[in-house]
């Protein structure tokens, strides 16, 4: 997955902290992070549940 940046160049990509958990800038919020991924990598899989997969493009609708 490539890094996602906002319009000011701030990195919005969540970073793994070594514990398996992902850290992200809570001030930006998940909707903005998803929106930025939808812009930069729209066809990347965002969600997998059972046999259903959604891309960032589909998630951002």
The range of the structural domain enclosing residue 36 comes to 15-59
Distance (Å, rounded) from C-alpha 56 to C-alpha 19?
25
**Number of domains comprising the chain:** 1
Residue 37 confidence (pLDDT):
84
pLDDT for 3 beyond 80: no
2 occurs within a structural domain: no
8 A C-beta contact, residue 8 and residue 30: no
53 occurs within a structural domain: yes
33 occurs within a structural domain: yes
7 occurs within a structural domain: no
1 occurs within a structural domain: no
Residue 50 confidence (pLDDT):
87
Q: Tens of pLDDT along 4-59? A: 666 677 776 666 556 656 666 778 778 888 888 888 889 988 888 888 999 989 98
């Amino acid at each position: 997955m490539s890094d996602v940046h906002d319009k000011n160049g701030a990195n919005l990509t969540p970073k793994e902290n070594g514990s398996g958990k992902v850290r992200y800038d809570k001030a930006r919020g998940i909707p903005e992070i998803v929106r930025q991924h939808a812009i930069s990598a729209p066809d990347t899989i965002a969600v997998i549940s059972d046999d259903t997969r959604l891309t960032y493009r589909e998630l951002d609708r």
